[in-house]
Chain A
């Protein structure tokens, strides 16, 4: 059953920790206790005319899925302490 062991090893390598961060952006955001609540970010973006669908963490940033003021799909990153926009590689 050597093959089985190689498969497990391969799977372990693929699924090892860094694979869970998308690598699209990283934020040096330190202790989570210093982060602003996602509701604050959501409120700011809603006031800008965005319709926020989801806010999750990725690479120490807040990753936002939303429709912007023109109704276009956007995936945007924000620093969780300053809530400043973090540029990412062009997606579309």
Chain B
């Protein structure tokens, strides 16, 4: 668990690879949304597979990847929000409560988008307006949420003088110190 100089490996390889897969999948799906051929559909199926793996990992993976390890109850989340607004939010070695809920939200949107997309290619739901609109509106919601997700990571990186984006690539973070909230290993 402790590679070197107080660093801990927080994000395992599957969490990191699936995160990259979502980035690549969403980007590729966006740019093929009106393309000829079935690229958009195959990208959607790939995202759906990655999503299923992430959900399984959220129950069977290491603690830092597990939903019970980072999804907090509403009271703790509100408390964290208040601390954040006062500039007194503690550092979390895993996801902070708002970050945890953002992940749940992003995964939900990915599920809605990929399932409604698949549904709209079936004979039964072909051309059905609500399915197509759900696909569109969930996509706009995802597009609006991604900058907030990134802004949260950048904000926490600045506040605690660490590079969370790099951590999501190599998996390591500074271990818990002082008032930091550790991952419930």
- List the interface of chain A (C-beta within 8 A of B): 3-4, 7-8, 10-11, 14-15, 22-24, 53-54, 65-67, 71, 73, 75, 89-92
Question: 3 tightest CB-CB pairs across the interface, nearest first?
Answer: A65-B127, A53-B127, A7-B147
> 23 pairs across A/B with beta carbons < 8 Å?
A3-B154, A4-B147, A4-B151, A8-B147, A10-B147, A11-B143, A11-B144, A14-B143, A15-B143, A22-B34, A23-B34, A24-B34, A53-B126, A53-B128, A54-B127, A54-B128, A65-B126, A65-B127, A66-B127, A67-B126, A73-B127, A89-B36, A90-B37
Give the contact-size bracket for chain B: 10 to 19
Q: Is the CB of B128 within 8 A of A3?
A: no
User: Between A and B, how many residue pairs show CB distances below 8 Å?
Assistant: 45
Residues from chain B with Cβ under 8 Å of A11 in the complex: 143-144, 147
- List the interface of chain B (C-beta within 8 A of A): 34, 36-38, 121, 123, 126-129, 132, 140, 143-144, 147-148, 150-151, 154
